[in-house]
Structure 1
């Protein structure tokens, strides 16, 4: 049923008599997988295994083979990257078994709500209707089915949501900053309120009056109808200085229109009607589909009071229906201090680690960062005011690849983009899931995706968003072949590592220590770079109560390495052996060493 007004939603009727899926005991026990719906699966693949493990052979898209790599030119592949590609919820439903067998237990789904009609915002971040799904992605019934099937397979579902802004739902009146080739203007923030020409119609023209309840046309303006108020928007033009206060709070995010959330000091914040409506809209999706958490976009650009209000509303509602630990993850750019302070002040449950963590993680594994640089990110107890293992265990979602890679500027590229990244892909997957934090894998990483910008390109995000199902924008510069390969080396070995993590609670909840190494058993020191690189064993321990699990990777791409490694002397004696839980050399697994 389509809903035009938030007031039409009867929460009592939606929730009455239903039993909702409870939250997990600990989110740090989970392994997340982030996918972009439009780029994941269209349901037309062949020669893959369905949710039960049975081989599907009646699809039209064959499984990728190495002989198909680069089967189109780079230039054509780049041209193919923009716009809608056809991934949908139905395709996702059929690939849940692929994720479960890999060991994934939580699925982070890119925004699926209805986008503005006249732009191909396939990524989902340009919402026009907060109460409907975009037809490119599917139906409400398919969302409900996706969550139900995921829960049956032990997978939680996290929806990506936006509070900070809407899509490009109105146009400014002519002013100082014209947009070439149009009759309209794109003013930048300078602190003043700009006039608006009107809400945009289905073709993107501002023909709809900019007033309350201006239209019921589902493809025009913004919905629910309560948002069709001039007071919904700050109307101060686009952000140019991304760290200037209050510009980064009041300005539009490019052509995405900033929402006015309220006013007042943090402790006495008065939410706007728009914020109340948006919070109610997201409560609706929880009530309807039984989702387990939200990843909240662009939290940096919201006032602390607004974020606190939203977190309180959502947590109170979810507790009332039996989801005691509904997970709210904030995308909080601007460094660790800002992230920690925002979590403490707002009640969000975790921050998305998109700043230092992926940089230090990627280049430590590749041998171009000191291991201390990465491990010390989890040790700054002075900054966070808490023991590191207490804070980082469940307060930070860690990842090494993502859909934006703001940290890389114009040279964006996946982990496997360089010539030798594939050799240590399993290392970075292992470090991500076996160190502190709630680990998250970006779709396709387990299949060696290598999308990247080149010298003559601008680093557009599209290079990080290849199609898992192929189409005309498949990974590895291909078209017409899919990548749901459960026999690829990275997939197979990564599944084994996740299983060890599942069995060993210390690897999920234990405190963490980078360990010293030695070549002779006499002189020990932390592994460090020499001559601008490190080719060495890098070991660390996870300790919980009386259990220590020692883990190590080798940053030497081409040679085996051995080293003496320190352990906790208080937990071991000379007669107590270590048992090998996992190795890429399968013959070592189960062996005991004193």
Structure 2
């Protein structure tokens, strides 16, 4: 047995409560040991009774990646003070795994020194689910390029013809009324959630450099337009999530301009991270997003900044009843601030979702006290490697999908925003060589993978596009250009997510005879997806 591969961490993604009555326990081993028939049991009990009374349960092999196997069991418990060790059996020999590591025997009389423990399940330490997330299919809209709905607004800012290829600074004229106008279309697609890129006052077309966080950009409309959008969306069973750009702001924001003018004498000097007593825009002696001097970084460790941003977070819930926030550049903002943010948002609206933008393993932010989930770009990468780049075959794709699931607790997995592309990537359809069957297969996988699918606007009409800004083209509303067979197939696939088995079902992802086989099981029902190649799949629904 490869004891170096053994890993278990109490009170982590390896041990977490789903409720005060149910706990998930995971153990990592070497994959070759699992394949050789390693058997795992958990010996558990109540903390203060363990020496005399113990219970044993088998821990099934659940997930495998390239290096490791993960055994997982859900324990139903009657006492919130859980302790346990593992029994491993290899070739008829039994071993024990505890805080002392792997041993040939175990002394229960001195167990209080070295058993694993979940010492007490406090109710407010159980990460709650946003119950509507697992059954939602999101549609991401880059507002300026989706639809012009207000024909009477000032059009003087529009500097491109609708449908022309965009440049980084072009404005096409899309607005909130355009989204309201197309809500029935969006609903008919099978969409139940809309994620909007930023809509607050800004000089850019993308609005990620915000001047005024409490003002809807006039190019997009008014506060009344947002209120109507949310209200009309809710009438159709559609949630609305806005983009929170709290890592940085515009260099035209009043507070930053005050620092430009007064330097260290400004009351807002500590709102930003400045090297020196005065701002020097040419030398850029202040921190900013990436290398963009027009996007100065906000100092989220500053109490004034915290109060300012938390007020914005709750303001738009009060004013427009939005359903959550997507957090731009979440990984560069302090964890301390996100803890405050979660408490403020959840106190205002308990089922508001908080989705971080983090392209990597974000476990430190996904432990229950910061974000509910992230944009799952790790999933995007797996799909690109399999469907577009041909870097991975079916077996490696299975390994990678399983590895992603093992990054987080179950609650997080079932709220992850699983996307094939976004405003920050090349269009997936372009990446896969405009192969509609590959797109169809990838969407099928996205419906079966645990979490919340998010489709970038125009995917249903096979929109193309290279890297930013080309991935931000205008939606083509000329139906004569649409492939209706593809459109209907997309609708058919999105509709799968209405089935509880694909929302809440337990998941198994395996390589079976050279195929990616995903089985979702729930309340005695089963759904099976088998992908034999990037262009070939079958679905069986026992519902």
Does the alignment reach a TM-score above 0.5?
Answer: yes
C-alpha distance 79-541 of structure 1, shift in aligned 2 (>3 A): closer
State the alpha-carbon separation in 1 of the partners of residues 164 and 215 from structure 2. Answer: 32
- Tell me how far 1:513 sits from its aligned partner: 2.0
The within-5 A match list for 1:329-348 is 329-333=355-359, 335-336=360-361, 339-344=362-367, 346-348=369-371
Of Structure 1 and Structure 2, the greater strand share is in 2
Pick from 411, 416, 433: which aligns with 2:430? 416
- Tell me how far 1:164 sits from its aligned partner: 0.9
Q: Which residue of 2 aligns with 1:233?
A: 272
Q: Which residue of 1 aligns with 2:173?
A: 86
CA contact (8 A) 1:360 1:373 kept: no
State the alpha-carbon separation in 2 of the partners of residues 385 and 501 from structure 1. Answer: 22
- Tell me how far 1:487 sits from its aligned partner: 6.5
C-alpha distance 416-126 of structure 1, shift in aligned 2 (>3 A): same
Deviations 1:256-282, CA, capped at 9 Å, x for gaps: 1111112xxxxxxxx511111111022
State the alpha-carbon separation in 1 of the partners of residues 471 and 428 from structure 2. Answer: 6
The within-5 A match list for 1:363-442 is 363-366=385-388, 368-380=391-403, 384=407, 386=409, 389-394=410-415, 396-405=416-425, 412-442=426-456
Matched, 1:153 2:167: no
C-alpha distance 543-40 of structure 1, shift in aligned 2 (>3 A): same
SS of the aligned residue for 2:469 comes to helix
CA contact (8 A) 2:341 2:370 kept: no
C-alpha distance 39-561 of structure 1, shift in aligned 2 (>3 A): closer
Query: Would you say how many aligned residue pairs link Structure 1 and Structure 2?
Result: 393
Q: RMSD of aligned C-alpha atoms? A: 3.4
Pick from 479, 484, 488: which aligns with 2:484? 488
Deviations 1:499-558, CA, capped at 9 Å, x for gaps: 2331x21111212223444xxxxxxx343xxxxxxxxxx43211124222112345264x
The within-5 A match list for 1:170-249 is 199=258, 208-209=261-262, 229-236=268-275
- Tell me how far 1:234 sits from its aligned partner: 1.3
Pick from 508, 514, 536: which aligns with 1:513? 508
The within-5 A match list for 1:539-578 is 539-555=517-533, 557=535
Q: Which residue of 2 aligns with 1:325?
A: 351
- Tell me how far 1:31 sits from its aligned partner: 0.5
CA contact (8 A) 1:81 1:466 kept: no
The structure, 1 or 2, with the larger RCO (C-alpha pairs under 8 Å, 6+ apart) is 1
Q: Which residue of 2 aligns with 1:109?
A: 196
State the alpha-carbon separation in 2 of the partners of residues 385 and 377 from structure 1. Answer: 14
Q: Which residue of 1 aligns with 2:13?
A: none
Pick from 208, 212, 215: which aligns with 1:129? 212
- Tell me how far 1:115 sits from its aligned partner: 0.8
Pick from 322, 329, 336: which aligns with 1:305? 336
State the alpha-carbon separation in 2 of the partners of residues 561 and 424 from structure 1. Answer: 10
C-alpha distance 209-484 of structure 1, shift in aligned 2 (>3 A): farther
- Tell me how far 1:364 sits from its aligned partner: 2.0
Q: Which residue of 2 aligns with 1:522?
A: none
- Tell me how far 1:345 sits from its aligned partner: 6.5
State the alpha-carbon separation in 1 of the partners of residues 230 and 166 from structure 2. Answer: 34
CA contact (8 A) 2:141 2:195 kept: yes
Matched, 1:468 2:489: no
C-alpha distance 556-38 of structure 1, shift in aligned 2 (>3 A): closer
State the alpha-carbon separation in 2 of the partners of residues 450 and 382 from structure 1. Answer: 30
C-alpha distance 36-483 of structure 1, shift in aligned 2 (>3 A): farther
State the alpha-carbon separation in 2 of the partners of residues 402 and 463 from structure 1. Answer: 11
SS of the aligned residue for 2:186 comes to helix
Pick from 421, 428, 446: which aligns with 2:460? 446
State the alpha-carbon separation in 2 of the partners of residues 165 and 428 from structure 1. Answer: 34
